[in-house]
Structure 1
Amino acid sequence: MWGTPARSSMISHRAWFLFCVAIQTAPLSQSMADQHESIDLRSPPVDRPAGTGLGWFPRAPPPIYSCTLTPELVAKAREELQEKPEWRLRDVQALRDMILKEQPNLRTRLDDAFLLRFLRARKFDYDRALQLLLNYHAGRKAWPEVFHDLKPSTVKHVLDLGFLTVLPRPDPNGRYILCLRPGKWKPNDYPFVDNVRALYLTLEKLIQPEETQVNGIVILADYSGVGMSQASNPGPFLAKRVVSILQDGFPIRIKAVNIINEPRIFKGIFAIIKPFLKEKMAERYILHGSDLGSLHRNIPQSVLPEEYGGLEVQLDMSAWSRVLLDCDEEFIVEFCQPDPLEGVVLPDSMLFEGEQGSGQDDDTFRGLRSQLYYCY
């Protein structure tokens, strides 16, 4: 459900068509309906035959929230996230009321399942959850080249190249493993921002299951084949934006970042990234080099493909691609809508500052580039 004033003049023809064809309206509650007219912009459930790409990945939650956590995960959420099942929906309503009171013009989903993502990511701290929600939408506004017409079919070339995938089996802690292979990308292939688009869509899909919201994810980054052209292409300005989204602009818990097969030049790459990392996140970066034994102490062989000394079959890059491409209509409804921040007054200090400060970033990049050449 999206809380938004019913102003048809602010809705594009495309969005209006989607509204008429695939969208249902549903009131949140009588008290909320009195304050805020709500429109459900979620795509309707689609029956898919067995054996399609979605077979191994959990489906999106139902329109009306019903907890899908196992008793073990309920206990884990209580211990790690301060989530109390008996207060869960009360907390959601409290966050919803804050949004309606403090940001009445914000075009955002207000359904229970969506808001729970932000509460869990900030351990049920209402103020921090609201700030994360604002950062989430501010990131879209500040980086239009990433979020304009964002849907899986527009990044099929990234998925086909094998820049990223998700391993089909989670680790023993229930965390899905996002596998990045930046060496597969060459600057002449397509703009770097397309990689960011594919990464963001992957995160959006990964965060849908409640299990991921509680367990978090693990990143495995294989730097085989990364050279000077890839390392120097994004620059600190793009690096800062990507890190900002992952740390402060998206409701997902990144529990570990495992780097493998990193070349000497990675010291220069990490020098670009590290200034933007919070201390807690920086401590979660683990450099393994070519030591598979070190990797296996962090990610067991039972869930790794044979390329990384694992017991699974060869890495299938097409499996995750099918998961995303099967959800194209879902993402059209989620992202191809009017600006959610139109008419919203944001605090003076926000996470994303647009193009401001790019001159300083350029100066920083000139210094860091010399480090890259030195490492190379």
Structure 2
Amino acid sequence: MNSNQKNNLIIDGIKTLLDESPLYGNIIMNLSRENDFTAPNALSLKWQDHHWFLVINPEILTRLLTNHKQIALALAHEALHVVWQHPLRYAKERQQNKVIDIGTDIAVNQYLPQALGELPHAMTLQTIFDMSGKLLPVHEDSATYIALIAKLFDNASSLGQDNVDGHDGWSNIGEATQEAASALALVIKKADEDTKLLGRGQVDSRVQQQIDEVVIPKRHWRSVLRTGLSQIPNKRQESRSRFNRRQAYRLDLVGEISTYDAQVAVFIDNSASISNQQAGQMLATVLQLTQQLDADVRVFSFDTQVHDIKKVTKWVRHAGGGTTFQCIFDTLAERHFNPVQTVVLILTDGEGEKNISKTKFRHVYWLLPPQKTLSIREPFGQILRF
């Protein structure tokens, strides 16, 4: 294969990715690109000269990947590293750390466009199962996979070397962490804007959550919750301490004040996947909440069922089993909470069922730890972070 054929194959791979997964394709298009025939891997991300570069070794790329679909998958893999900001998160730890390479690759390979087939030489959950007999959980964050793999294998180098994707360039950041973070966020924001012009295509909800983490301006979750409470319909009550706004000169007419009937229903995840430390953080958050919000706050715990917490200060945790979000909305309906006047706050690690029945409750807020995603395929409400 001559150089023109190799270049055409790479161009066809980019076009294929733009057609199949516009978001991933636009992330690649917004990266600076550099051909390096001495690079040890077919593709890699590198911080250099105030920019994020996609480094391509055409020789290795076209030797390992023989058609445009496979190249599109390899490019999508790099785009997903950008989405989850792996080059930033693991810049300092990455050097000579094979476990980080494997954990981050397993995390992103679960979101590759299925219509394009399989990426050759990819590190997957199946790879780990074949070598260890252990089936790792799906759709976890890279940090979880890194911890699990470190426990499973004494020598991670025994898992082999992936010459398609390299991570050495992540450690180039040095002291430029803030600049590199801003540059990576700009790549994601531009790609998101470009994609909206032409249509997003099929994007997993977890990927979209990660994009939103970057492109949506961050506000403290308490501020968001207060805004939600302020939007609850209110009723008016006569008050002689207020002037009548329509006829202010009539001192004999009473005015009106607004009274809010908002109710806050708080649900604390008590499933087995929640550590005692996480449960303690959630409980402290709820204690603060009950003191700060001018509303009727009701508190519950849940796993596969909902349990009343009569006094938050005296709640003693007994870890449950699985997690079912549906039980929350079933309980709200059974207990006749008003869908219009109730704000629902769910403190959870996001691990639960993938599908949930439609609910009439519209003021729903999911409060998750950093880097965790909600398991529901079509999430509703707002996802906030501790």
TM-score (norm 2): 0.29
The structure with the largest strand share of the pair is: 2
The structure with the largest helix share of the pair is: 1
TM-score (norm 1): 0.30
Larger of the two Rg values belongs to structure: 2
